[in-house]
Amino acid sequence: MIPFEHTRIIVEQELEGARGWATRHSMEICWLPDDLQILVAFLQPEKNIPFFLRGTLKDYRALPPEWTFTDENWQTAGRPCDFPKGVATTFGPSIFIAHGQTAVICVPFNRLAYADHSGPHGDWGGSANWLNAGAAHIHADTIGDMLQAIYRDFSLTQERMANP
């Protein structure tokens, strides 16, 4: 849908801000341009448990990225044992939820939250509507804003959603 090179250029522009955010939070962003993937390791502040966040950006920005937590080799997707267990925040319910046998980062800026990509939301007008979906909920429309939004809820978690 979106030429590979266009997505690469857009992502690399957005990464300038995102890398500034990551540096302020003592993290590193690994960008794999040939795979259009972003890898970021998060560390739970209280328990020091590492989690591995992967964003796949094919067709970005026509569609939102596919955000998921993976195993330490960045290979798996949607396994509850790779996800933090969500806790309610001062902002509302956690964005980390179980959906059937899988786990999802349930936000409008995650392609995997939409029913057209096996996610829970059939009420957001489809993943192509991501910039206007879920207006009352957490909002992020650049890579840096998305990482910050995910980390916002992640930083309050204390354990895994399921045992490995």
- Interacting residue ranges for another protein, rule: CB under 8 A: 14, 16-21, 24, 45, 86, 89-97, 106-108, 113, 121, 134-140, 142, 144-145, 147-149, 152-153, 155
- Would you say 48 or 163 has its CB closer to another protein? 48
| 20 vs 50, beta carbon nearer another protein | 20
- CB of 73: closest distance to another protein in angstroms? 27
Give, to the nearest 10 degrees, the angle between helix 143-154 and helix 4-24: 50
- Residue 140 C-beta: closest distance to another protein, Å: 6
C-alpha 108/C-alpha 134 separation (Å) is 6
Least Å from the CB of residue 24 to another protein: 7
**Please, which residue, 76 or 148, has the CB nearer to another protein?**
148
Angle subtended at Cα 32 by Cα 30 and Cα 35, rounded to the nearest 5 degrees: 145
d(CA 22, CA 91): 22
Question: What CA–CA distance (Å, rounded) separates 41 from 22?
Answer: 10
Alpha-carbon span 108 to 152, nearest angstrom: 15
3-state secondary structure at position 102: strand
Shortest Å distance, C-beta 88 to another protein: 8
Closer of 1 and 135 to another protein (Cβ): 135
